């Protein structure tokens, strides 16, 4: 099978592992920088050109699209879909998962536990927002942030107000969430492929940092999930229409709370912590589904 991995760089750990896993299973693999694709939109004849050549005979794509280029990346995935190429992440689900507010609304509707979250666009509403999430301390998140960047813990009501005012003053969209103290700066990253949990790790933030992202100096260890944690992760992924995702949850007194569902989760931390060949499981998922895709 000819599989294209949409990634900005073949040197990235996750991209490299997918190439390795695909070659090991006898597939032809190419890495395509989605930012350099030219989309030709024509009646009944969608094409994609890359480095002045038309992309042909690709059976499946695995999108690894960074949050900053979601718009163009999703357009490239959509074009492949119109060319009847199987994608491991549907364009619609990619866009849905990247809109933090929309994905939280969908998860809340589906009955998935999450930290209490409030969203406002007027500085006049700050007191109401803080009251709704239970007062300080609160977590303030940029709607566009990733990897723990743009996540702030405001410990007092005054500091929360000044941070929110500053963001709203420059018209930056933010979410305000209750702070889950009992999580103690740790979260769980659960990796789901095709409705199955293939790996889970507990990430503990660096000392003095409530954010647990490994990019920020946190560390990871293997964790045995409870039945409720497993069902919450699977439900969240299903609700957003994703076949491959990382679900970030906090352990709280009222059960697991989903913070985010990541549609391009990194493999390095989870493979390192669990020792599981997750790249291989992603390729196997593509093999199973590309076959059904062709039949349809």
Token reading at 285: 């998922």
Question: Which of residues 71, 89, 107 is at a domain's end?
Answer: 89
In a domain, 286, yes or no: no
pTM above 0.75, yes or no: yes
| Structural domain containing residue 232 | 182-263
Please give the order of strands across the beta sheet that includes 86-87.
28-32, 2-6, 60-63, 86-87
CATH number at residue 159: 3.30.1490.20
Same domain, 19 and 74: yes
Closest CA to 261 of 131, 128, 106, 57: 106
How many domains, in total, are found in the chain? 3
Burial class (CB in 10 A: 0-12, 13-18, 19+), 72: middle
Q: Is a pLDDT exceeding 60 seen at residue 211?
A: no
Distance, in Å, from the CA atom of 200 to the CA atom of 212, rounded to the nearest integer, reads 14
The pLDDT of residue 293 is: 65
Q: Does residue 170 share a domain with residue 202? A: no
Residue 131 CA: distances (Å) to CA of 36, 69, 164 = 47, 35, 14
Domain boundary among 179, 202, 232: 179
**CA–CA distances in Å: residue 158 to residues 6, 120, 142, 162, 163:** 44, 17, 19, 6, 9
- Cβ(261)–Cβ(98) below 8 Å: no
- Among 260, 265, 270, 261, smallest CA distance to 241 is for 261
184, 253 Cβ separation under 8 angstroms: no
Distance CA 257, CA 260 (A): 9
**Same domain membership, residue 163 and residue 239:** no
23-63 confidence digits (pLDDT tens): 999 999 999 999 999 999 988 889 999 999 999 999 999 99
Averaged pLDDT of the chain: 90
In this prediction, residue 110 carries a pLDDT of 95
């Amino acid at each position: 099978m000819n599989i294209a991995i949409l990634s900005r760089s073949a040197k990235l750990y996750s991209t490299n592992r997918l190439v390795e896993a695909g070659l090991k299973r006898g597939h032809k693999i190419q890495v395509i920088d989605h930012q350099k694709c030219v989309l030709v939109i024509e009646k009944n004849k969608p094409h994609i050109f890359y480095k002045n050549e038309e992309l042909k005979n690709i059976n499946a794509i695995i999108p690894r699209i960074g949050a900053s280029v979601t718009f163009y990346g999703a357009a490239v995935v959509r074009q492949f879909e119109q060319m009847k190429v199987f994608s491991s992440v549907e364009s619609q689900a990619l866009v849905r998962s990247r809109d933090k507010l929309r994905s939280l609304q969908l998860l809340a509707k589906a009955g998935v536990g999450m930290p209490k979250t409030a969203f406002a666009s007027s500085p006049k509403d700050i007191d109401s927002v803080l009251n709704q999430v239970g007062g300080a301390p609160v977590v303030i998140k940029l709607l566009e942030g990733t990897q723990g960047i743009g996540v702030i813990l405001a410990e007092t009501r005054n500091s929360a107000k000044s941070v929110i005012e500053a963001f709203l003053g420059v018209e930056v969209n933010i979410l305000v969430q209750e702070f889950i103290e009992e999580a103690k700066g740790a979260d769980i990253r659960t990796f789901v492929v095709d409705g199955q949990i293939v790996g889970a790790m507990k990430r503990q933030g660096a000392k003095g940092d409530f954010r647990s992202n490994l990019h920020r100096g946190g560390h990871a260890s293997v964790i045995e999930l409870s039945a409720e944690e497993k069902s919450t992760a699977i439900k969240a992924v299903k609700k957003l229409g994703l076949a491959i995702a990382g679900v970030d949850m906090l352990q709280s007194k009222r059960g697991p709370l989903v913070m985010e569902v990541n549609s391009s989760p990194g493999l390095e931390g989870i493979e390192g912590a669990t020792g599981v060949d997750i790249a291989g499981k992603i390729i196997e998922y593509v093999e199973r589904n590309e076959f059904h895709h062709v039949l349809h």
